[in-house]
């Protein structure tokens, strides 16, 4: 999906919501737990219930890899569902945090852009340019580099101050931005440090930011909007657990739909301010 | 595998060689290319041919993920082969470069320590403590954190100087070492910057180092030994392409065996110096 199409979808749905499919088999609704296709049935129902309100889905690969070959089969089924659901096209992200030397990152790009046809993959920047560049060679596909994450461990290295006066995450933003464009590169900026989103936005004024941490992790959507929006919105805000597990009963999809709609309505309010 | 068992294997085989199974379907010997079980047949022959000379195997997950579900099935078959081959037990590494927020790293640990029973997994440190700690809770299992890698991109962030005077990779070593012990944590130190291996060794005198970059990437085994060995050897040196693709003919396994033996003999020479 190209930049202009993503912005169009955001305007059409009045939403910059990304629904995170971090599907934990143990947390499935009671009637689906332990059934042969429970994970995929759950994903299908969540996608159908939330797609009027979401422009993006983010599939956390770890939760599938934990189930071995069966999990990888589920991942293949779910990207199939995401690419074929009845609503408008969505921006589908493999949240995989990959990154390795160039010849290996090439293989990861094949994995998540070809074998599993996602629109984007999250990548870890520690190994530098050749670990990210292979993901930037596919027209219409995106790398989403970690910059400042939403977890406690973000303080360990990302917030280290460099000799040049910057925090490491600011250096990562400034340097990584030179390897791609606003059309193939986004950055992860966690909502649990909303005041730092302003620093992220200052470093990369024109890039989209993928913002996890709203919902179960405690971040505020209002803060994310205030500190992070740019003239083309420039935000995809992810919520996972608060939507997926809104109910553990047979009404889980309806409950997920309501949670997604609440976020979408708040987003529509902010978008209306832009005019 | 516990630390003492790994050291015993190194002494018994007079080798600290790790064979990297970065299996690229396009590089298979002609008679295996395109056959239904070519990848696994190739891996099986390489493992049998090299296990007298190798104490460790490192499976690069990217090369399997690039083949989708089929690749993940091959990965499952190969860890099965590694855990059951006819030689002494080997230290089997998933070279997966994973790392995410705590609840997600938990799932990656399940993926590579339970669903696929590897002894160790490589992890990326950018997200900090909670991204690595979940891998340290399994007795006899190991996290191998990136520190200083063998690629050009290592210069971008790993070699950034911090306000405290250290390079980032030195900070990563010092901080990450506090999260685990020499019994569950190793570090990646690339052989293509041998002079920097001395800095790595100074920061973590007692930990094992996993050293890629010897062979196709151009690093020198003598330098690695001189700068990196400690009193318990403390090194696993990886070679991948130079062994796997030593011949593209039907003699590929014999050629791989010869390459592995050459490295083992050089290693035995260094080990003899230790007495």
CATH number, position B66: 3.20.20.70
Question: Considering only alpha carbons, which residue of chain B is nearest residue A171?
Answer: B157
**Residue-level pLDDT at A216:** 67
Are A99 and B97 within 8 A, CB to CB?
yes
Report whether pLDDT(B193) > 90.
Answer: no
**Chain A residues lying within 8 Å of B171, measured CB to CB:** 157, 160
Cβ distance of B104 and A60 shorter than 8 Å: yes
Q: What are phi and psi of B215, to 5 degrees?
A: 100, -125
Name the pLDDT band for A260 (thresholds 50, 70, 90).
very high
* Positive/negative CA dihedral, B218, B221, B227, B229: positive
A58: contact with B, CB 8 A cutoff: no
Mean pLDDT (chain A, rounded): 95
Asked if residue B69 is part of any domain, the answer here is yes
| Residues 98-137 in A contacting B (C-alpha not used; CB under 8 Å) | 98-102, 104-105, 107-108, 110-112, 114-116, 124-132
Q: Which of B182, B181, B188 is nearest to B237 (CA)?
A: B188
Question: Considering only alpha carbons, which residue of chain A is nearest residue B68?
Answer: A115
Are A50 and A252 within 8 A, CB to CB?
no
DSSP assignment of B189-243 equals E-GGGHHHHHHHHHHSTTS-EEE--BSTT-B-HHHHHHHH-BTTB-EEEEE-HHH
Give the largest CA-CA distance in chain B: 56
**Residue-level pLDDT at B274:** 83
Q: Domain range spanning residue A256?
A: 3-274
Q: What are phi and psi of A235, to 5 degrees?
A: -135, 140
**Chain A residues lying within 8 Å of B98, measured CB to CB:** 62, 97
Cβ distance of B163 and A168 shorter than 8 Å: no
CA A108-A111-A113 angle, 5° bins: 100
Residue B122: its H or E element: strand B120-123
Name the pLDDT band for A32 (thresholds 50, 70, 90).
very high
Per residue in A210-240, pLDDT tens? 999 887 667 789 999 999 999 999 999 999 9
Structure-derived torsion over alpha carbons of residues B216, B59, A116, A142, reported in degrees to the nearest 10: -50
Beta bridge mates, B91:
B56
Catalytically active residues of A are 97
Contacts of A60 (CB under 8 A, 6+ apart): A20, A21, A22, A23, A95, A240, B100, B104, B107
Query: Considering its fold, how many domains does chain B have in total?
Result: 1
CA A231-A232-A233 angle, 5° bins: 90
Angstrom distances, CA of residue A89 to CA of A55, A118, A119, B53: 8, 12, 11, 53
Are B219 and B213 within 8 A, CB to CB?
yes
Cβ contacts below 8 Å, chain A against chain B, sum to 195
DSSP assignment of B140-153 equals T-EEEEEEE-SSGG
B153: contact with A, CB 8 A cutoff: yes
B216: contact with A, CB 8 A cutoff: no
Question: Considering only alpha carbons, which residue of chain B is nearest residue A106?
Answer: B62
Cβ distance of A100 and B62 shorter than 8 Å: yes
ipTM of this model? Answer: 0.96
Name the pLDDT band for B49 (thresholds 50, 70, 90).
very high
Question: Considering only alpha carbons, which residue of chain B is nearest residue A114?
Answer: B66
Residue of B143, B157, B189, B241 to mutate for A, most A C-beta atoms under 10 A = B157
Lowest-pLDDT range of A187-201, A229-243, B148-162: A187-201
Q: Which of B17, B190, B58, B216 is nearest to A103 (CA)?
A: B216
Are B93 and B18 within 8 A, CB to CB?
yes
**Residue-level pLDDT at B194:** 75
List the single residue in A112, A146, A165 with the smallest CB-CB distance to B126. A146
**What is the rounded distance in angstroms from the CA atom of residue A232 to the CA atom of residue A115?**
31
Report whether pLDDT(B125) > 80.
Answer: yes
Report whether pLDDT(A174) > 90.
Answer: yes
Report whether pLDDT(B216) > 80.
Answer: no
**What is the rounded distance in angstroms from the CA atom of residue B49 to the CA atom of residue B246?**
13
Structure-derived torsion over alpha carbons of residues A124, A130, A132, A137, reported in degrees to the nearest 10: -170
**Chain A residues lying within 8 Å of B130, measured CB to CB:** 151-153
Report the pLDDT averaged over residues B126-139.
98
Report whether pLDDT(B92) > 70.
Answer: yes
Q: Which alpha helices (DSSP H) does chain A contain, by range?
A: 3-13, 38-50, 62-65, 68-84, 102-109, 129-132, 168-177, 194-203, 221-228, 241-244, 252-274
Per residue in A122-172, pLDDT tens? 999 999 999 999 999 999 999 999 999 989 999 999 999 999 999 999 999
**Residue-level pLDDT at A93:** 98
Beta bridge mates, B167:
B161
List the single residue in B66, B111, B114 with the smallest CB-CB distance to A111. B66
**Alpha carbon of residue A254 to chain centroid:** 22
Which letter, b or e, does each residue of A113-131 get, where b requires 16 or more Cβ atoms within 10 Å of its Cβ? Answer: bebbebbbbbbbbbbbbbb
Cβ distance of A108 and B65 shorter than 8 Å: yes
Cβ distance of B116 and A68 shorter than 8 Å: yes
Percent of chain B whose predicted confidence (pLDDT) is above 90 = 92
Asked if residue B151 is part of any domain, the answer here is yes
Residue A123 is classified by DSSP as E
**Chain A residues lying within 8 Å of B20, measured CB to CB:** none
Which letter, b or e, does each residue of B236-250 get, where b requires 16 or more Cβ atoms within 10 Å of its Cβ? Answer: bbbbbebbbbbeeee
**Chain B residues lying within 8 Å of A101, measured CB to CB:** 149-151, 153
Residue A160 is classified by DSSP as P
Name the pLDDT band for A275 (thresholds 50, 70, 90).
low
Asked if residue B51 is part of any domain, the answer here is yes
CA A172-A174-A175 angle, 5° bins: 65
| Residues 185-204 in A contacting B (C-alpha not used; CB under 8 Å) | none
**Residue-level pLDDT at B135:** 98
Report the pLDDT averaged over residues B18-30.
95
Structure-derived torsion over alpha carbons of residues B236, B237, B243, B244, reported in degrees to the nearest 10: 60
Percent of chain A whose predicted confidence (pLDDT) is above 70 = 99
**What is the rounded distance in angstroms from the CA atom of residue B147 to the CA atom of residue B154?**
9
**What is the rounded distance in angstroms from the CA atom of residue B40 to the CA atom of residue B133?**
32
Per residue in A55-76, pLDDT tens? 999 999 999 999 999 999 999 9
Question: Considering only alpha carbons, which residue of chain A is nearest residue B109?
Answer: A66
Q: How many residues does chain B have?
A: 275
């Amino acid at each position: 999906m190209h930049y202009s199409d993503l912005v169009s979808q955001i305007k059409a749905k009045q939403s910059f919501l990304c629904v995170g499919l971090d599907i934990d088999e143990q947390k499935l609704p009671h009637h689906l737990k332990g059934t042969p296709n429970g994970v995929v049935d759950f994903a299908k129902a969540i996608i159908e219930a939330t797609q009027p309100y979401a422009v993006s889905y983010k599939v956390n690969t770890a939760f599938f890899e934990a189930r071995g070959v069966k999990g990888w089969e589920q991942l293949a089924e779910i990207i199939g569902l995401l690419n074929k659901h009845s609503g408008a096209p969505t921006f589908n992200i493999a949240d995989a945090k990959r990154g390795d030397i160039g010849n290996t990152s090439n293989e990861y790009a094949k994995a998540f852009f070809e074998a599993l046809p996602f629109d984007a993959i999250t990548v870890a920047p520690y190994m530098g340019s050749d670990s990210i560049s292979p993901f930037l060679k596919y027209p219409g596909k995106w790398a989403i580099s970690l910059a400042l994450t939403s977890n406690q461990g973000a303080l360990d290295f990302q917030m280290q101050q460099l000799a040049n006066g910057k925090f490491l995450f600011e250096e990562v933003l400034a340097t990584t931005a030179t390897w791609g464009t606003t059309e193939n590169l986004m950055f992860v900026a966690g909502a649990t440090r909303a005041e730092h989103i302003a620093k992220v936005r200052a470093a990369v004024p024109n890039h989209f930011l993928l913002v996890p941490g709203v919902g179960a992790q405690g971040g505020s959507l209002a803060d994310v909007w205030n500190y992070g929006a740019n003239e083309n919105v420039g935000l995809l805000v992810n919520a996972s657990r608060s939507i997926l597990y809104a109910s553990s009963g047979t009404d889980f999809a309806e409950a997920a739909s309501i949670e997604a709609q609440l976020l979408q309505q708040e987003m529509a309010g902010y978008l209306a301010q832009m005019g």
